[in-house]
Amino acid sequence: MSAAATAVPAADRVLHVLAALARQGRAMAVGELMAQTGLARSTLYRQLARLRQWGFVLEHGGLYAPGPMSLQLAAGFDLASHLMQAARPVMQELAAQSQESVGLLVAVNGHAVCLDMVESSHSLRCSFDRGRSVPLRAGASALCLLAHLPAAQREALLNEQDIDSAARAALDQRLEAIAKAGYAVSEGEVDAGVWGCSVPLFSAPRRMAGVITLMAPTSRARGHEDALIRKTAVAAARIAQSLGRP
């Protein structure tokens, strides 16, 4: 059994498999799932059998994908999420004002996960599919989330990254600057030709609920960066105000 598998408690392995399927957003073969989870083939098949029995996973032609129970969970989340309910109307206004796409992302298990997305009306637009995730490593959304995590959690995540001391020092300095400025900006770090700015959403002092991210083609954002950052910051403040209400 691999080191990655032994690091996952036995009771959590079924959730580890489900999370791997959810992050990829496509059907996966057993070999891919073994690489993603670090689980032995026999162990992986046992977890997949349990997930299939409960309807959380479907199998077709040797490929595995999230099943109908996953859709029910997602629908329930949409109805119950206070964060999404508070953010959605403000995101729609920001997208209309800026004519660019706006996303809502949260930090989950070392990844930035997109909860909601309002797309630009332009035919050329940037987008980030709901449910898509990227490691907390690069890009405005990921770095803004990372910069505003509790210090111990941030350090643990950074210590897991395989980077040399010089790169780590540069990253620490960048995260410190993001936390001080109250926003993060990136260009082409996750997707080529995409400019983005992210602002944290606080549900209480020092308690981050997620980030709101405005993303645009670099060619269209150039020369308008400051105005787009200001619009995003104002939207984030409005959402935070709603989150703070009882």
What are the extents of the domains in the chain?
3-72, 81-243
Amino acid 8: pLDDT = 65
What ranges in 64-207 are assigned the alpha helix state H?
A: 68-80, 82-98, 140-147, 151-160, 165-181
Amino acid 74: pLDDT = 66
Amino acid 181: pLDDT = 95
Which residues does 135 contact at the CB level (< 8 Å), separation at least 6? Answer: 110, 111, 112, 142
Domains 3-72 and 81-243 equal at CATH topology level: no
Q: Which residue numbers in the chain have pLDDT < 70?
A: 1-8, 25, 68-69, 71-80, 205, 245-246
> What DSSP string runs through 31-64?
HHHHHHH---HHHHHHHHHHHHHTTSEEEETTEE
SS3 content of the chain, % helix, strand, coil (to 5): 50, 20, 25
Q: Let me know if domain 3-72 sits in CATH 1.10.10.10.
A: yes
Q: How many CB atoms lie within 10 A of CB 218?
A: 15
The half-sphere exposure of 70 on its side-chain side, counting CA atoms within 13 A, is 18
DSSP 150: -
Tokens describing residue 50: 């349990």
Tokens describing residue 66: 């999230």
Which residues does 92 contact at the CB level (< 8 Å), separation at least 6? Answer: 118
Phi-psi region of 67 (alpha: psi -120 to 50; beta: other; left: phi over 0): beta
Q: Which CATH number describes the domain made up of 81-243?
A: 3.30.450.40
* Nearest-angstrom CA–CA distance, 121 and 135: 28
* Per-residue model confidence as pLDDT tens digits over 76-127: 565 447 888 889 999 999 999 999 999 999 888 788 888 899 999 888 877 7
Amino acid 2: pLDDT = 40
